[in-house]
Amino acid sequence: MARFFQRRGFQIALDFLVLSLAFWLAFLFRFEFRIPRSALDILFVNWPIVIALQYAALTAFRVPRMSWRYMTMRDAINMWLAIAISGLLLFSIRLIAPEVTKTPVVVVPIGVLAMDYVLAFVGIVGERALWRLRGERVDRKKRVVEAGDHEGVLLIGAGEAGVMVAREILKRPDLGLKPIGFLDDNPLKVGSSIGGVPVLGRTSDVGQIAARKRIDRALITIANASGQEIRRILELCRDAGLKTKIIPGIYEIVGDKVNLSRIREVAIEDLLRREPVQLDEERVGATIRSRIVLVTGAGGSIGSELCRQICRFGPERLVLVERYENALFEIHRELAAEFPHVPIDPRVGDVCDAGRMAQLFETSRPELVFHAAAHKHVPMMEWNPGEAVKNNVGGTRTIAELADRFGVERFVLVSTDKAVNPSSVMGATKRVAEIYLQALSQRSATRFVTVRFGNVLGSAGSVVPIFKEQIARGGPVTVTHPDMYRYFMTIPEASQLVLQAGAMGQGGEIYILDMGEPVRIVDLARDLITLSGLRPNDDIEIRFSGVRPGEKLVEELATDAEHADKTKHPKVFIGRIKPHEWERVSTGVAALCELAREGDAEHVRASLGDIVPEYGDARPPRKQPSEAVRATEAPREDKDTRETGRASGSFTAPN
């Protein structure tokens, strides 16, 4: 503590010395180093007044409390404002004081005040800048120990992110890296120097420049580049024989700093990268802040990311519901460490267990519910249709009814593109869940909202981890069909848009997330093999295994453009779908869940087709109608009526 006060006292004394020196130099410059006796009287009389006013202004802007070691541009602006305001006060005194006091002693020459303003600002900022440079030099000397030789690296992208990376590398000699130069496609930057690092040429020159400079490492420092641009740069670097890494997306760069530990190999997410999602932070925050939020499936890929995003907005309490205790343990431990200010309740429970769920709702009284718990694997649910119904339909019904009973304000169902004209049990069960929520929304004060999107990159059991595992084993990489396409999103992107749609919903809507262009799965496989440093079909075989039961070649997010409207958010569309009649839906869902408990797979499939005609049309005709048919089947007058029913389940987002 004594050392702290000594340092603070030294800094204050140094500020007074700099301000005094600036005032004296202003007089010396004004009178060309020959200050007359009358001017000396003015200097000595006004010296303490000027210094006191300037330091008072600095104190008002909290300049003495700012760290000298970590001075920033914002700090310099505050110093300029303080000196400018004190200068205006001194100028005002200069104009008014002679008329009041009738004495020339208080008349400081205007030229002196102008020069003092400049010199004081330069001095106050300069002393802190020198202090920071000294500290950084000391740090570099400490880090250079055992750093060894520095390896040259080309920085591809001379924008803001690239400059931040270059600055951090220069401050970290222990990394063993040295930025040799930038490559950038902006012709105005080529040939210039940015932060002491030259811009050597365009990205297309990477091979020539790397050979000339004898460099074998490159770093992509374009934080907001599209996937197509990253793919182009990666191919150029690969042809030049460069080891290539990438900085994280711009949303991971916080406080004008890049965490160099996050610099990583180029991943498939980078090649599929789109413009970052821009959340309506105010609207989402108003929905979540100071509310009790419950998330089912909290240990899953989407559920866990939803929890991370929710914690950013400061809920009153977050209730995690998950039946797998290991997954619950991991996400609870992570959230508790990262968001210690958010009360978090981890609760083991199965959404199919109505008694346990009722107990959780009774004790936690949630105001918002995000229902992410579901069975999602298409082939697995084809083999186990009853279990798909129990979880995706029965579990949703249980949570939705409890939300209605306990007065939950909003309920958001995480759905899938496979619910559109479903060809699989999984897709059909998710469509039944959508239908049930829409019908329930008509008679409940709770705002029930569905959010529908496609595949999520890197989620548990998804295609990317499977391909990576196959590549690690040496192949082959199995692709079902050469013309199979899928929509993809990253986990954070999907979770953020779920929150956005949930905040927008008024009840009964089905929101569709803009997934961009569909990706051919075989191209995804080739990219992953290439990113592993191998050659498709030469080093790793790509083998086509055939379409599995329930799969489509191309998934649909929606059909029939007239059923979709734009929302205020450019990546969220809303479907205007007429809800089904509650009594018919309720009876049909009850019969379906009963069949699932009985375990007759064929009757379960038939019953799904009764509630979701689009799915029934894709199956061979059955001999007898099931109980769910009699409960849910509406009179079908003609072909047009049937087509209307098909269209009511799907729509297309306009371009």
CATH number at residue 247: 3.40.50.720
Q: Grade residue 616 by pLDDT with cuts at 50, 70 and 90.
A: low
Judge if 498 and 564 occupy the same domain.
yes
Residue 332 three-state SS: helix
| pLDDT at residue number 555 | 63
- 471: in domain: no
Domain stops at, among 215, 236, 266: 266
| pLDDT at residue number 25 | 92
Judge if 219 and 127 occupy the same domain.
no
Residues in contact with 284: Cβ distance below 8 Å, sequence separation at least 6, in sequence order = 313, 499, 500, 503
| pLDDT at residue number 251 | 41
| pLDDT at residue number 556 | 61
State percent of the chain over pLDDT 70. 77
Residue 76 has pLDDT above 70, yes or no: yes
- 545: in domain: no
Tokens of 241: 């024989």
pLDDT tens digits for range 488-518: 777 777 788 788 888 887 777 888 766 667 7
Q: Grade residue 142 by pLDDT with cuts at 50, 70 and 90.
A: low
Whether 450 contacts 410, CB under 8 Å: no
The predicted model gives 522-541 an average pLDDT of 78
Q: How far apart are CA 176 and CA 158, in angstroms?
A: 21
| pLDDT at residue number 393 | 94
The predicted model gives 525-531 an average pLDDT of 80
Residue 90 has pLDDT above 70, yes or no: yes
Residue 324 has pLDDT above 90, yes or no: yes
- 648: in domain: no
Pick from 94-98, 142-146, 495-499, 573-577: least confident: 142-146
Enumerate helices (H) and strands (E) in the chain, giving the number of each: 24, 22
Residue 249 has pLDDT above 60, yes or no: no
Judge if 139 and 166 occupy the same domain.
no
Residue 639 has pLDDT above 50, yes or no: no
Residues in contact with 45: Cβ distance below 8 Å, sequence separation at least 6, in sequence order = 105, 106
Q: Grade residue 343 by pLDDT with cuts at 50, 70 and 90.
A: very high
| pLDDT at residue number 263 | 63
Q: What is the number of residues in the chain?
A: 655
Judge if 344 and 421 occupy the same domain.
yes
Residue 308 has pLDDT above 80, yes or no: yes
| pLDDT at residue number 566 | 58
The per-residue pLDDT of the chain, averaged, comes to 79
Judge if 108 and 156 occupy the same domain.
no
The predicted model gives 523-540 an average pLDDT of 78
Judge if 315 and 361 occupy the same domain.
yes
| pLDDT at residue number 171 | 72
Residue 482 has pLDDT above 60, yes or no: yes
Judge if 293 and 367 occupy the same domain.
yes
- 609: in domain: no
Judge if 207 and 288 occupy the same domain.
no
Q: How far apart are CA 535 and CA 542, in angstroms?
A: 11
The predicted model gives 616-634 an average pLDDT of 45
Judge if 452 and 374 occupy the same domain.
yes
Residue 133 has pLDDT above 70, yes or no: yes
- 21: in domain: yes
The predicted model gives 163-174 an average pLDDT of 76
The predicted model gives 231-239 an average pLDDT of 84
Domain stops at, among 143, 159, 192: 143
Q: Grade residue 622 by pLDDT with cuts at 50, 70 and 90.
A: very low
As for how many domains the chain has, the answer is 3
Judge if 224 and 358 occupy the same domain.
no
Judge if 157 and 131 occupy the same domain.
no
- 308: in domain: yes
Judge if 297 and 243 occupy the same domain.
no
The predicted model gives 225-238 an average pLDDT of 81
- 602: in domain: no
pLDDT tens digits for range 328-341: 999 999 999 989 99
The predicted model gives 472-500 an average pLDDT of 80
The predicted model gives 441-457 an average pLDDT of 83
| pLDDT at residue number 279 | 64
| pLDDT at residue number 568 | 58
Q: What is the pTM of this model?
A: 0.59
Residues in contact with 647: Cβ distance below 8 Å, sequence separation at least 6, in sequence order = 559, 560, 563
Out of 9-18, 39-48, 396-405, give the one with best mean pLDDT.
Answer: 396-405
**What domain range is 333 assigned to?**
281-456+488-516+556-575
| Pair type for strands 564-566 and 572-575 | antiparallel
Q: Grade residue 274 by pLDDT with cuts at 50, 70 and 90.
A: low
Q: Which residue has the higher pLDDT, 387 or 39?
A: 387
Q: Grade residue 318 by pLDDT with cuts at 50, 70 and 90.
A: very high
- 524: in domain: no
Pick from 423-437, 565-579, 598-612, 635-649: least confident: 635-649
| pLDDT at residue number 397 | 95
Domain stops at, among 123, 143, 163: 143
The full 3-state SS of 537-602, as one line of letters, equals: CCCECEEECCCCCCCCCECCCCCCHHHEEECCCCCEEEECCCCCCHHHHHHHHHHHHHHHHHCCHH
